[in-house]
Amino acid sequence: MSPILEHVLDATTTGTMTSERPQRHVQRKAHSMTPIDPDQKPRISLLGTSAMLFEAPGELDLRTQRRIWALGQRAATWEGIREAVPGMSNLMLTFDRPPRQPASLAAALNDAWAEAEELSLEGKTVVLPVQYGGDFGPHLSDVVAHTGLPVDEIVALHSEPLYTVYALGSHPGYCYLGGMDPRIAAPRRKVPVLGLPGGAVSIGGVQTGVSASAGPSGWNTIGHTDMSFFDPARTNPAMLAPGDMIRFQVGRIVR
């Protein structure tokens, strides 16, 4: 039995979804849609009885992520959905109660994705001074080894882009950032490392991020920044939100 839910579109699956379910025939707006590649369909799967995971096909880019934001905003209002949690070109829907017909929910997600227009969430820009390398960047040498690039070039490539906060996750206030140069990609570690401090700047695969508190990580930690990312006393507890932007400023490079 495949864990991947097939997109079933027939009369029997109209099941339990609300009237929010979109019409089948949709006017597609070419300028905001990624080209439809018939082999590149979204992948939808279940996480036990607790959640459904929607993974968008194609590139990990801002255009895809903006459509994920749109999909999440819409799906969050559906009956039985507790929360819509964007990830990196994916969306997890947690359930209040597990739906009896997950295929219906999958169908609704596919339909909503086909219609999803890029949601422009233009937020604030934050500049973070980073100390690269040294005690706070214990895995910078691993990135050097993997990429074949010298430390200075890795730092230059990492600090050059204006990154967009794609999603929060991992731990309170942690931001997954989009826009990292693929030349400095380095695979996640075989064994996660325990006890990394808050403010750790790291690379995991093609992604980069900054931790908001001390804890374990499977990513390659290359530097450190001081910043308060989370305040549980606030109604909106995270300092950064999807759509905000971060620029890393090179404070120091410790070799």
Partner 1 sequence: MIEVLSNAALATIQDQGRQGYLRYGVGTSGAMDRVALAVGNLLLGNPDDAAGIEIPLFPFRVRFTEDVAFALTGADCSARLGERPVLPWWTLQAKKDDVLTIGVPASGARCYLLLKGGVDVPIVLGSRSTQLRGEFGGFLGRQLQKGDVIQAATVESAYSEKEGDAAGFGVTPPSWTLGGLETSPVADPADTVVRVLAAAEYEAYEQDSIEAFWRESWKVTPQSDRYGYRLGGPVLNSKRPVEMRSHGIVPGVIQVPPSGQPIIQLRDAQPSGGYPKIGTVIEADLWRLAQARIGSKLRFVQTNYEEAVDALDELDRYMTKLRHLVGLHRGDRP
Contact residues for 193 (Cβ-Cβ < 8 A; gap 6+):
138, 139, 216, 217, 218, 221
CA of 244: how far to CAs of 65, 187, 191, 199, 238, in Å? 13, 26, 31, 17, 12
Q: Is residue 78 within the footprint of partner 1 (CB under 8 A)?
A: no
Angle at CA of residue 50, ends 45 and 51, nearest 5°: 40
Q: Is residue 173 within the footprint of partner 1 (CB under 8 A)?
A: yes
**Mask for 79-118, x = binds partner 1 (CB under 8 A):** ---xxxxxxxxxxx-x---x-x-x----------------
Provide the minimum distance between the beta carbon of 142 and partner 1 in the complex, in angstroms, as a whole number.
Answer: 14
Tokens of 172: 């309170």
Q: Is residue 210 within the footprint of partner 1 (CB under 8 A)?
A: no
Provide the minimum distance between the beta carbon of 237 and partner 1 in the complex, in angstroms, as a whole number.
Answer: 6
Residues 108-167 that bind partner 1 (CB under 8 A): 167
| DSSP designation for 184 | G
The number of residues that bind partner 1 (CB under 8 A) is 58
Q: Is residue 193 within the footprint of partner 1 (CB under 8 A)?
A: no
In the block, tokens 């799906």 appear at 75
Choices 31-39, 44-52, 136-144, 147-155; region in contact with partner 1 by CB under 8 A: 44-52
Q: Is residue 192 within the footprint of partner 1 (CB under 8 A)?
A: yes
Length of the chain equals 255
Give 60 or 155: the residue with its C-beta nearer to partner 1. Answer: 60
The binder of partner 1 chosen from 38, 148, 195, 232 (CB under 8 A): 232
**Hey, what amino acid is at 155?**
V
The binder of partner 1 chosen from 13, 41, 51, 119 (CB under 8 A): 51
Distance, in Å, from the CA atom of 191 to the CA atom of 109, rounded to the nearest integer, reads 34
The binder of partner 1 chosen from 15, 138, 205, 251 (CB under 8 A): 205
The binder of partner 1 chosen from 105, 116, 200, 238 (CB under 8 A): 238
Provide the minimum distance between the beta carbon of 214 and partner 1 in the complex, in angstroms, as a whole number.
Answer: 8
Distance, in Å, from the CA atom of 139 to the CA atom of 132, rounded to the nearest integer, reads 10
Contact 67/54 with Cβ under 8 angstroms? Answer: no
Distance, in Å, from the CA atom of 159 to the CA atom of 153, rounded to the nearest integer, reads 10
Alpha helices in the chain (DSSP H): 62-75, 102-115, 140-147, 151-159
Provide the minimum distance between the beta carbon of 152 and partner 1 in the complex, in angstroms, as a whole number.
Answer: 26
Binding site for partner 1 (CB under 8 A): 1-4, 43, 45-51, 53, 55, 60, 82-92, 94, 98, 100, 102, 167-174, 176, 187-188, 190-192, 204-205, 207, 212-216, 218, 230, 232-233, 237-238
